[in-house]
């Protein structure tokens, strides 16, 4: 291994991933490092990752980012969950909200109490026992003192990158304008020595971070790391994105609307709406997809629809030699559950925790790669769940998704929940029990039984327990203002 002290960090590529890495490294580790970021104004970024999940609060807290300032700068709105429309079947909708479901006991989750209540006909929809779920439906939101951070954001990814760039440059990150034309490897070690730009400038470094998007200029084109293809379980390979003028008040959730051969997103910002269609090119052409998307959007177009091609999967190594892939260069899990920016930040934080200040050692590389693989495998299973667990038979695409082989780990979760109502979260997993319950029930699984500890509670006591939780949710959400009104007072952008 290359055991020289790491003093020079070179980030190849800007965009959301590049500037997230630059801001974090320069502010949190920068006093001992020389950090450079190479990007070209001539190369567009994908820039459609506009929905996030609550883990972004961790990143913002580390960087000391003020929420109101960030939201105003990025035209952001609040997000409490995702509405899945037509996923279980046509006209069968549900919401996967953030937050926590009811109250658990030591032996069993709240779903077991709810399941017995359902048998006794004394409960309502499972979402009535989650404040964020009810707030989605009622269009309410508030940020309160000592409140759990069970919310995320819809944001303009391009403006977010600019916001982070200012932080990075304030902490002495140097931006270098230019196109990368060559990645120069060391003949003996195979490590990256430097990057040559079209201008002839050579940028040397000790550690290189590949944020060059799907191209993977360093991690793949130079180091030939290899790619694990997930197309057999996540068949969508294309997306069309377009922005429209806002036609109404922004709702506090992302809309995911299942279509004939994929799904459509609708993401409300303060000043516009982000729209797109994720689809499988085996079942739908680009032109058909464009026509379908344009027929199902609201508001005047602000730009021309743009086609994005991708392959779901992951690099075989996310850290290879002295190169760490962060962002789309590391792989791509489609944006169904808004996990993209989360994976960027986790990679950045993981790198800082394992930062090779005193030299690059295989133990650190292996730990980074093992942690990354474990996390993305769990997210992959959760995304596959939405496609495979469906009652739709109306198109070849959905029939394929119903019949495709799925990972044994996912089959185990589904079988366990179907049989006993049990759900378990491993410590390293992103999605918790409330998420798995909402999606599995939303997609059609109703457990056959509940945990016997629930029977220690009599019917009257059970009804009082369930009613108290539901009424507490109602009281809590009734005190929250209208989502749009709160934005206007809390973080209104200049563009609104």
Catalytic residues: 79
Distance, CA of 448 to CA of 127 (rounded, Å)? 20
Classify 183 as helix, strand or coil.
strand
**171-172-177-182 Cα dihedral, nearest 10 degrees:** -110
- Reduced to 3 states (helix: H, G, I; strand: E, B; else coil), residue 305 is coil
Q: Where are the alpha helices (DSSP H) in 139-197?
A: 157-170
Distance from C-alpha of 350 to C-alpha of 171, rounded to nearest angstrom: 21
Looking at the DSSP bridge assignments, the partners of residue 494 are none
Q: Check: CB of residue 150 under 8 Å from CB of residue 492.
A: no
Residue 159 to residue 73: CA distance in whole angstroms? 7
| 133 Cβ contact partners less than 8 Å away, ≥ 6 residues apart | 80, 81, 95, 97, 99, 127, 438
The closest of 146, 153, 137, 188 to 53, measured between CA atoms, is 153
Q: Is 190 left (phi over 0), alpha (psi -120 to 50) or beta?
A: left
Q: Residue 307: in which H helix or E strand, if any? A: strand 306-309
Among the listed residues 201, 158, 77, 153, the one whose alpha carbon sits nearest the alpha carbon of residue 491: 77
3-state secondary structure of 20: helix
Give the CA diameter of the chain: 79
* Number of neighbours of residue 388 by Cβ within 10 angstroms: 21
Count of residues in the chain: 496
Q: Torsion angle, CA of 472/249/263/70, rounded to 10 degrees?
A: -80
Task: Report the SS3 class of residue 297.
Answer: coil
- Closest-CA residue to 316 (of 363, 372, 380): 372
Per-residue HEC secondary structure of 395-429 comes to CHHHHHHHHCCCCHHHHHHHHHHHHHCCCCCCCCC
Centre a 10 Å sphere on the Cβ of residue 172 and count the other Cβ atoms it contains. Answer: 13
Please state the φ and ψ torsions of residue 220, each to the nearest 5 degrees: -110, -55
CB-based contacts of 288: which residues, under 8 Å, 6+ apart? none
């Amino acid at each position: 291994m290359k055991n020289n002290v790491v003093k020079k960090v070179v980030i190849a590529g800007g965009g959301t991933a590049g500037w997230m890495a630059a801001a974090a490294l320069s502010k949190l580790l920068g006093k001992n490092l020389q950090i450079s970021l190479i990007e070209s104004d001539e190369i567009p970024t994908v820039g459609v990752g506009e929905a996030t999940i609550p883990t972004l609060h961790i990143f913002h807290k580390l960087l000391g980012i003020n929420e109101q300032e960030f939201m105003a700068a990025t035209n952001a709105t609040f997000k409490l969950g995702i509405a899945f429309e037509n996923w279980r079947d046509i006209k069968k909708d549900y919401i996967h909200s953030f937050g926590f479901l009811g109250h658990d006991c030591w032996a069993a989750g709240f779903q077991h109490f709810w399941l017995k209540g359902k048998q006794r006909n004394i409960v309502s929809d499972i979402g009535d026992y989650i404040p964020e779920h009810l707030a989605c439906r009622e269009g309410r939101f508030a940020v309160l003192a000592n409140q759990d951070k069970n919310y995320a954001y819809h944001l303009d990814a391009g403006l977010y990158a600019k916001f982070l760039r200012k932080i990075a440059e304030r902490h002495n990150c140097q931006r270098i304008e230019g196109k990368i034309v060559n990645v120069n490897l060391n003949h003996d070690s195979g490590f990256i020595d430097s990057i040559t730009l079209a201008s002839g400038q050579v940028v040397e470094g000790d550690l290189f971070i590949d944020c060059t998007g799907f191209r993977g200029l360093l991690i793949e084109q130079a180091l030939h790391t290899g790619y694990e293809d997930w197309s057999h379980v996540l068949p969508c390979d294309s997306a069309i994105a377009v922005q429209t003028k806002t036609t109404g008040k922004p709702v506090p959730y992302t809309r995911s609307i299942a279509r004939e051969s994929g799904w459509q997103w609708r993401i409300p910002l303060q000043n516009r709406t982000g729209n797109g269609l994720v689809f499988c090119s085996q079942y739908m052409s680009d032109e058909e997809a464009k026509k379908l998307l344009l027929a199902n959007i609201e508001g005047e177009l602000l730009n021309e629809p743009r086609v994005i091609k991708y392959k779901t999967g992951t690099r075989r190594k996310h850290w290879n030699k002295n190169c760490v892939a962060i962002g789309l260069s590391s792989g791509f899990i489609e944006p169904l559950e808004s996990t993209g920016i989360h994976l960027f930040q986790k990679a950045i934080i993981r790198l800082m925790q394992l930062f090779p200040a005193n030299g690059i050692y295989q133990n650190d590389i292996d730990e980074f790669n093992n942690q990354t693989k474990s996390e993305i495998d769990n997210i992959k299973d959760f995304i596959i769940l939405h496609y495979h667990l469906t009652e739709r038979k109306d198109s070849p695409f959905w029939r394929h998704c119903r019949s495709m082989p799925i990972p044994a780990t996912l089959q185990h979760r589904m079988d366990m929940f179907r049989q006993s109502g049990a759900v378990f979260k491993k410590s390293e997993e992103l999605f918790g029990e409330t998420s798995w319950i909402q999606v599995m029930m939303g997609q059609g699984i109703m457990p056959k039984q509940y945990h016997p500890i629930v029977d220690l509670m009599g019917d009257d006591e059970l009804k009082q327990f369930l009613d108290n939780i539901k009424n507490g949710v109602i009281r809590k959400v009734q005190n929250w203002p209208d989502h749009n009104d709160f934005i206007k007072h809390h973080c209104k952008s200049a563009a609104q």
